[in-house]
Structure 1
């Protein structure tokens, strides 16, 4: 006996439920159907009962569209003998029509019913189960009913003929434009399939999607929908597609309005027949129609949702149930709401004036919030609650001693107490940056629960809009792991101590569009200890103000990007080198190696020979950090210009290095010399004692210096005004990067093409791809003299090529490199 069959039914049901919840497809469940009759009988309810279930408006289904189409086909086959519409029989291939001619050229049609046309043909004959009996949730969209190996568009002439009677009610549009008629052929098949499968089982359905164009048929059987709890109206093609006739009027506009208004009497009549049964109403547009699409008007939608009942103790407020909630905002119990997601501006949240603060404050279980900005006062209620709680703890609770010293810090006991008092918000996503007050209020009010804090700003192209000042008044956020601010054109000025409040950060992203600046304006942040940080991406002002001493604590970092923004795709601003150099302090590293405390001297205003005065002095970058897990390093602008390759000694896991010092300024060329290839002995100890030879030319190694070797770098990208001559090119590429596979340069000068080919032949046998910004001229025989042959060229007899492919600027064809130069 099958081991699964020996399990008690409760255990087997638990296993099946896990498969339903965790899998992205139902392949595992389908495979169980072939085990034995007992297992199949236990599995079928999970396949057909839950595949189309909706949870508070969101589809919850592990079934992919192609699998769902197959399951729909199997359900239709069970109705084969019950009588299916002609158009369904023909479109699914259950029936074919062949035309013959008698001796007098008269055409006659012969119907053939196909019971064995594919692998699912005999499902009903072989199966002892009634699949339809297991269906409780029937929510199909157009893409869910596409017959296998067929299309809903471009039907056979027989299917088109069978569709003809269905167009009679809409002649004014379909007769006037054939293209629209063809699109709606698929919709008619969709309506017929939905009705064919739903009508026999209406009494058992708990949720149902009704094509709006076909709503009258469902209105006629309302008395059979006693168990219906969730109705979903699909604004399908007939409603969404409005065709403008020659007289300038919309040909089906009136019919669309009538169909939309039919939703209201449907809801009211169901409530009259089965009071309190219907709990959820949703309206969606899944028709995927082309050309002019007209969604249902807001006026009609509000009418529909006002007729609907209030949501019953909802856990999620999302776009699919938002309007039903908003139509009954004051009478809906929000104590159980865990997630609140909407992209509506607050002015469109409700159809009448409602206090947004009051709504948010009523969501006492709220953990996830994803909205546009709710305004600078949107979270004042939370701030007041936090302060009131602190005041109570100070006066009567365990926290008196703690609060005397720091009234914004809670002990573990106080934190546990506060969780029963304050909203436990842990995940906040503000999709449209509003005000700094709003951001700071969130950080303060939910400091003891906040884990993910993401803020974006997409609108606004004015280069003179004011900066956003973030972080003032922040307190410690001990559980914050993800902090992401994107300020768009607004400059993000981060409070100096902001990162000190976020010791648990794993992912930090601070981005704005700062691309032109004065060094004298830069005020560095404080040194922070970010021992859990794994990903750091700073662009714009946050990058310029970041304190490099923080890198002494980021031992877990895997991805690092430091950049200033670009005003176009090709150039970035780099200050004049003299000004850039003078903006940094003395040679002090910025953090004491022994104590880890900030040791940069206090900022002073000191005149220099050039006449430049700097009130703010930035700490000097030491480039000597030990980052053992760093795999990707990307630096642009001034960070690439000042980069010291000795940093690679502290990055033994680095795989990808991208340095981009592209700028529109002159005299900023970075020339690589042999000095860039070596460090003093013992600069860092990476545990690579066994890797004593890099294969480089020892003749260029200065005495008493140690070669820099990045053992695992496989991708190197150099972009901008770099200069590397042939004598340095080899020791740099295959000496510093012995495992390099992909090298891309754009704008790099100094080397010769012949020198590059020598590097590839000597040390590049593991290389896969080289991309050069050198301009290639078609038909240039010099290429062949260098041993470069297009992939389309025939090689001279006996010549072998390396595996590497070489690409040149202006040429999309790859070149192969011969193992030796080919001489005439």
Structure 2
């Protein structure tokens, strides 16, 4: 690497001295140059003997002249990839925080070299097209990834120029960011009748020159079933709505005007319009808003136009508008029935998600619904409740923000298939939630026994309000396994709901509030842990047989008399418990209950004050070091037992009798019983253990 030839080739790279010096010592710099030269030579050595047979090839832009001289041998080439390995673009990252020293002369020379490279790429493709017309089908380019912290790019205008030279896409079945620029270069001459999927189309560069052609290319995709793209703005799908309207005006299929008489499925009856009249059979629509182009009429047009076939609808507002004034995004106004829709995902980000009161009724076959915004504060009088709906197939319901406030709890009487329920205010990563004062909450539900008649009349005069539907908490949800409630929904939670949720395994009740919040502490009463009494029947305890994980976060209060009822009777198989803000109990009494009766419990995270070492030991808390020693002994014992089992299995015959199998099962059961003898307890920064008796 010290020879004249290497030095000449290294100098040809013409790197900025400040960048080259940052590579390290001279030996390291030489190695970087050597690796690049070796890569180029390997590329040429492997390809040149078989140029005539190559159908695809990667070309070094730095050595493009060398490849151009062999153009006559590249008659089989259909795909070419330009590796941008000549350093002509510099970035701040290349200097590792140092000063960017680039003279005007060097910058001018680099820009000129870049222009020569780009022109050479265009000419290479043009020459091949002239010599072998129609043979080259695909041309791509990317950074050669040879120089650290430097990314070389090809301007979209040059890519466009190259793609105009080669033939258009041949009857594509999908469009994406990988081929859309190619389509755009031949938009009018490309057959789009077979396109079924449009995915990951982003703006603005991928829509280069689209303003000239508008959105008519979408209408030409007659087999289209899936769209995942950034919005193109107002009117993008007006053509689809107009097609549907024109067909309905013919009077031969009034499918969308039919409501309840079709029942839940709504898919029987006359031949669907999209088959009868050749309408686009779109099933999956996923549209994202951008900072430059806001959502407008796209969703309403799509819902109307593809109501018979639409199965999945996803709308995502721009997430980078936190510092802008929030907008109100309306969904559901004027919608028709969507009998095929199973997935509805709407996220308004920092805007207000406003749902039409009939939205759920238009979607009877939903299995997944996630309707969210990041709203954290609200006025109770602004809440408009949706109408209850029959959603017998719903599997997952995620409501955050205004969608949670406007949800009608009566809908849950029809959701027997529900497995996951999330009803919250604010994002899941916030530290605190807004909860209106207790008297205002009661008033919003039409029940405020604390007000005098005179005060109630004055309040009604000042701010009349339609009462929100009451939450009865008596739903039968036999499939529910996960429940998360925050803010006012967790605050008003009633434990008798658990009677209708026998499969529930995870529950999170979060009422963390800010310092300025006026809501009272949520005090748990013993009566809440029992089924409301009825005439002639004794009081019966509520039991959540399947619950394994419980999160109780925020200002809860529970006294010592409830500990056994709560942790042993209510949650007999609880394995993992975390609280943050629970007060009213003595740690000593909790430890005593856990030690004697919490068989399944494995871990607890507590927010109570850390006990002093002497006091911790007296109440039965074992320090972390002792636990680790015990754990190591248990692991060694388990390993020995596993080895013994393996030895026994090797010695056993294939005709092992039933008695031996039974003995083996009994032994495993005993091992399982021995497992988990400690409950790990985290109090502040300390880890303790409670040894079960």
Same fold flag (TM > 0.5): yes
Q: Which residue of 2 aligns with 1:782?
A: 615
The 1:273/1:744 distance shift into structure 2, 3 A limit, reads same
Partner of 1:203, secondary structure, is coil
Q: Which residue of 1 aligns with 2:10?
A: 167
Q: Which residue of 1 aligns with 2:247?
A: 389
Q: Write the deviation string for residues 43-67 of structure 1: whole angstroms up to 9, x where unpaired.
A: xxxxxxxxxxxxxxxxxxxxxxxxx
Q: Which residue of 2 aligns with 1:756?
A: 590
Partner of 2:622, secondary structure, is strand
Q: Which residue of 2 aligns with 1:695?
A: none
Partner of 1:262, secondary structure, is helix
The 1:451/1:240 distance shift into structure 2, 3 A limit, reads farther
Partners of 1:288 and 1:622 lie apart in 2 by 65
Partners of 1:486 and 1:402 lie apart in 2 by 26
The 1:174/1:256 distance shift into structure 2, 3 A limit, reads farther
Partners of 1:492 and 1:479 lie apart in 2 by 23
How far 1:736 sits from its partner (Å)?
1.1
Q: Write the deviation string for residues 273-292 of structure 1: whole angstroms up to 9, x where unpaired.
A: 21111122222346286435
Partners of 1:162 and 1:679 lie apart in 2 by 90
- Contact residue 143 and residue 151 of structure 2 kept, 8 A: no
Partners of 1:161 and 1:788 lie apart in 2 by 76
- Contact residue 382 and residue 445 of structure 1 kept, 8 A: yes
Q: Which of 279, 285, 304 lines up with 1:422 in the alignment?
A: 279
Of stretches 664-673 and 189-198 in structure 1, the one that deviates more from structure 2 is: 189-198
Partner of 1:555, secondary structure, is coil
Q: Which residue of 2 aligns with 1:669?
A: 521
Partners of 1:237 and 1:814 lie apart in 2 by 57
How far 1:610 sits from its partner (Å)?
6.6
The 1:262/1:546 distance shift into structure 2, 3 A limit, reads same
1:339-488 paired onto structure 2 within 5 Å: 339-345=197-203, 349-351=207-209, 353-392=211-250, 394=251, 397=252, 399=253, 412-415=269-272, 417-418=274-275, 421-432=278-289, 434-457=294-317, 458-462=319-323, 464-488=325-349
Q: Which residue of 1 aligns with 2:61?
A: 212
The 1:401/1:650 distance shift into structure 2, 3 A limit, reads closer
Partner of 1:177, secondary structure, is helix
How far 1:679 sits from its partner (Å)?
0.4
Q: Which residue of 2 aligns with 1:808?
A: 683
How far 1:367 sits from its partner (Å)?
1.5
How far 1:234 sits from its partner (Å)?
3.2
- Contact residue 213 and residue 238 of structure 1 kept, 8 A: no
CA RMSD of superposed structures (Å): 3.5
Q: Which of 606, 622, 626 lines up with 2:472 in the alignment?
A: 622
Of stretches 461-470 and 445-454 in structure 1, the one that deviates more from structure 2 is: 461-470
Partners of 2:442 and 2:4 lie apart in 1 by 80
Partners of 1:414 and 1:259 lie apart in 2 by 58
The 1:164/1:346 distance shift into structure 2, 3 A limit, reads closer
Partners of 2:425 and 2:385 lie apart in 1 by 15
Partner of 1:414, secondary structure, is coil
Unaligned runs of 5+ in 1: 1-157, 588-605, 684-701
- 1:272 matched to 2:145: no
How far 1:614 sits from its partner (Å)?
4.0
The 1:718/1:431 distance shift into structure 2, 3 A limit, reads same
Q: Which of 548, 566, 569 lines up with 1:714 in the alignment?
A: 548
The 1:818/1:405 distance shift into structure 2, 3 A limit, reads closer
1:322-341 paired onto structure 2 within 5 Å: 322-341=180-199
- Contact residue 806 and residue 815 of structure 1 kept, 8 A: yes
Partners of 1:492 and 1:401 lie apart in 2 by 29
How far 1:670 sits from its partner (Å)?
0.8
Q: Which residue of 2 aligns with 1:771?
A: 605
1:240-279 paired onto structure 2 within 5 Å: 245-247=101-103, 249-250=106-107, 252-279=110-137
- Contact residue 181 and residue 206 of structure 2 kept, 8 A: no
Q: Write the deviation string for residues 389-408 of structure 1: whole angstroms up to 9, x where unpaired.
A: 1122x0xx3x3799699999
Q: Write the deviation string for residues 411-455 of structure 1: whole angstroms up to 9, x where unpaired.
A: 643316546521121111112173342211111111111111111
Q: Which residue of 2 aligns with 1:636?
A: 486
Partners of 2:152 and 2:300 lie apart in 1 by 41
TM-score by length of structure 1 reads 0.69
How far 1:298 sits from its partner (Å)?
3.1
Q: Highest relative contact order (Cα 8 Å, sep 6+), 1 or 2?
A: 2
Q: Which residue of 1 aligns with 2:509?
A: 659
The 1:732/1:566 distance shift into structure 2, 3 A limit, reads same
Partner of 2:412, secondary structure, is helix
The 1:168/1:175 distance shift into structure 2, 3 A limit, reads farther
Partner of 2:600, secondary structure, is coil
- Contact residue 335 and residue 362 of structure 1 kept, 8 A: yes
- Contact residue 248 and residue 254 of structure 2 kept, 8 A: no
The 1:728/1:352 distance shift into structure 2, 3 A limit, reads closer
Q: Write the deviation string for residues 493-532 of structure 1: whole angstroms up to 9, x where unpaired.
A: 1011111111111110000122111112211111111111
Partners of 2:413 and 2:551 lie apart in 1 by 26
Of stretches 276-285 and 340-349 in structure 1, the one that deviates more from structure 2 is: 340-349
How far 1:379 sits from its partner (Å)?
1.0
How many residue pairs get aligned? The number is: 619
Partners of 1:792 and 1:401 lie apart in 2 by 71
Partners of 2:256 and 2:338 lie apart in 1 by 17
Partners of 2:589 and 2:391 lie apart in 1 by 44
Of stretches 336-345 and 719-728 in structure 1, the one that deviates more from structure 2 is: 336-345
Partners of 1:161 and 1:732 lie apart in 2 by 84
Partners of 1:176 and 1:461 lie apart in 2 by 38
- Contact residue 770 and residue 805 of structure 1 kept, 8 A: yes
Partners of 1:713 and 1:567 lie apart in 2 by 21
- Contact residue 543 and residue 570 of structure 2 kept, 8 A: yes
How far 1:381 sits from its partner (Å)?
0.8
- 1:511 matched to 2:375: no
Partners of 1:203 and 1:748 lie apart in 2 by 77
How far 1:764 sits from its partner (Å)?
2.5
How far 1:200 sits from its partner (Å)?
3.5
The 1:569/1:207 distance shift into structure 2, 3 A limit, reads same
The 1:818/1:344 distance shift into structure 2, 3 A limit, reads closer
Partners of 2:591 and 2:179 lie apart in 1 by 64
- 1:223 matched to 2:81: no
Q: Which of 166, 172, 194 lines up with 1:314 in the alignment?
A: 172
Partners of 2:545 and 2:428 lie apart in 1 by 35
